[in-house]
Amino acid sequence: MENLFMYILIAAVMVIAPGVDTILVTKNTLSLGTRAGQYTTLGIAAGLSIWTIVAVLGLAAIVAHSIVLFTTIKYLGVGYLVFLGIKSFMAKNTFSFEMDSSENNEVMTPSIRQYKKCFLQGFLSDALNPKTVIVYITLMPQFINPNYNVNLQLVTLGAILIFTAILWFLILVHILDYVRIWLNKKKVQNIFNKVTGIILVLLAVKLALESNN
């Protein structure tokens, strides 16, 4: 691998830049607490892992250059974002489960089913994002030395991207945990849900209008 430090910097910028992953981690953390944000982060990592495996198997180039496959993945992703956006927009005030929930200070926590939903949202966010495969096709080859094991280098670069994503989003989750205390008002949460829903739908529209080339 060449210019590894430069690749790490680029990967960090890509991960930190606001996008669907950031919105999902923010929404789930503020709604359900830190564990929900952590499960969402694990889902994002799993989604990136799928594309790493695809790249190592040599299928990434096929997906990127197949109009049918690329478009299918693209519009599945668009549909999923619209679904999440509408669901968020229509949601009632979000209850902060890790805060005291009644006069007798009974503490409620989200169910494992809700955590699984957070994981699935993170996973599908990246698994159905065709732009992820473009990273493997256009960015990673610039940092690969063809004189050495290409697959091993792809795995290493993919692992760096995944680790960077996990590290950043876990940091973001803990930052949001402090912010969540100030957002534990029904009116604020209602506005947050609607704004999040609108942003997700707009991102879906943006993805749908982007050229496949």
Distance, in Å, from the CA atom of 55 to the CA atom of 158, rounded to the nearest integer, reads 9
User: Residue 100 in 3-state DSSP?
Assistant: strand
Distance, in Å, from the CA atom of 35 to the CA atom of 110, rounded to the nearest integer, reads 9
Q: What is the pLDDT of residue 182?
A: 67
pLDDT > 90 fraction of the chain, expressed in percent and rounded: 19
Residue 21: in which H helix or E strand, if any? helix 20-32
Q: How many domains does the chain have?
A: 1
DSSP E strand stretches across the chain: none
User: Residue 107 in 3-state DSSP?
Assistant: strand
Tell me the mean pLDDT per 10 residues along the chain, length 213. 80 84 88 90 94 81 71 73 73 48 47 90 86 75 79 88 94 85 66 74 73 56
Owning domain of residue 86:
4-209
Residue 71: in which H helix or E strand, if any? helix 67-90
Q: What is the pLDDT of residue 119?
A: 96
Rounded to two decimals, what is the model's pTM? 0.72
Q: What is the pLDDT of residue 103?
A: 40
Q: What is the pLDDT of residue 100?
A: 41
Q: What is the pLDDT of residue 123?
A: 94
